[in-house]
Amino acid sequence: MKLLVIGATRGTGKHVVDQALERGHEVTVLVRDPAKLQASPKLRVVQGDGRNLADVEKAVQGQDAVITCIGASQLKTAEFLVSTSARPLVEAMTKHGVKRLLLLSTAGAGDSAGMMKWVFPLIRLLARPVYQTIFEDKDRAEAIISATGLDWTLVRPPRLTDEPRVGRYQTKPSQGGGGFAKISRADLATFMIDEAEKGQWIRGAPFVWT
């Protein structure tokens, strides 16, 4: 599979790249700083900004699927990076006939805002402005993507950790809640690649945890 990963230099995105290469996929990454990535024979690096349509088009052409793991690089200065990147990505994918898109969102975004009865609504109410921005950013991105004719999946994990990969995960519709669950970034990456390959949650928004 030819797979484009956006947000590939850290966190879940880095795990997605590493695991996709392990599985033998041809991986393209769109990054602002190529020096942050280790060279690999099956890794194609496109230097650019995910908010710039011309850069995104270079990376999107010829892909089978796109996984975007963009997030705030630091909680002190959260920006609307996810939603501002969603518009050029959707435009580029539509123009070049690439249908499959997976967005790393978060539990509590979109129509899962009322999940876990009171936990996420309380977080959103009491959160610092930076966290409110993160939720609103994911909300906007989900709305942009879900309004398209693409084969999208909105991936909504709970608390993310840096624990080692255990190689398993559970999924269910995110509106169903999930208590105080968690998942490692490595295991979330495994799910995202599995989903890109199998397409079991097309036009869906799974809650993923271990």
Is the pLDDT at 119 greater than 80? The verdict is no
Averaged over 99-128, what is the pLDDT? 71
Q: How many CB atoms lie within 10 A of CB 90?
A: 21
Distance CA 117, CA 122 (A): 9
The reply to whether the predicted model has a pTM over 0.75 is yes
Residue entry with tokens 């208590």: 179
Please name which of 117, 195, 108 lies closest in space to residue 160, comparing C-alpha atoms: 108
pLDDT tier, 125 (very low <50, low <70, confident <90, very high otherwise):
low
2-209: in CATH 2.60.40.2140: no
Residues whose CB is less than 8 angstroms from the CB of residue 35 and which lie 6 or more positions away in sequence, other chains included: none
Q: What are phi and psi of 141, to 5 degrees?
A: -65, -45
Q: How many residues does the chain have?
A: 210
pLDDT tier, 118 (very low <50, low <70, confident <90, very high otherwise):
very low
Q: How many CB atoms lie within 10 A of CB 190?
A: 22
Q: What are phi and psi of 40, to 5 degrees?
A: -150, 145
pLDDT digits (tens, 9 = 90+) for 145-188: 999 999 999 999 998 999 999 999 999 998 655 567 999 999 99
Query: Are the beta carbons of 210 and 183 closer than 8 angstroms?
Result: yes
List the domain boundaries for the chain.
2-209
pLDDT digits (tens, 9 = 90+) for 52-102: 999 999 999 999 999 999 976 544 455 799 999 999 999 999 999 999 999
- pLDDT at 117 (0 to 100): 42
Please name which of 46, 51, 49 lies closest in space to residue 144, comparing C-alpha atoms: 51
Is the pLDDT at 123 greater than 70? The verdict is no
pLDDT digits (tens, 9 = 90+) for 1-28: 999 999 999 999 999 999 999 999 999 9
Query: Are the beta carbons of 168 and 139 closer than 8 angstroms?
Result: no
pLDDT digits (tens, 9 = 90+) for 32-45: 999 999 888 889 99
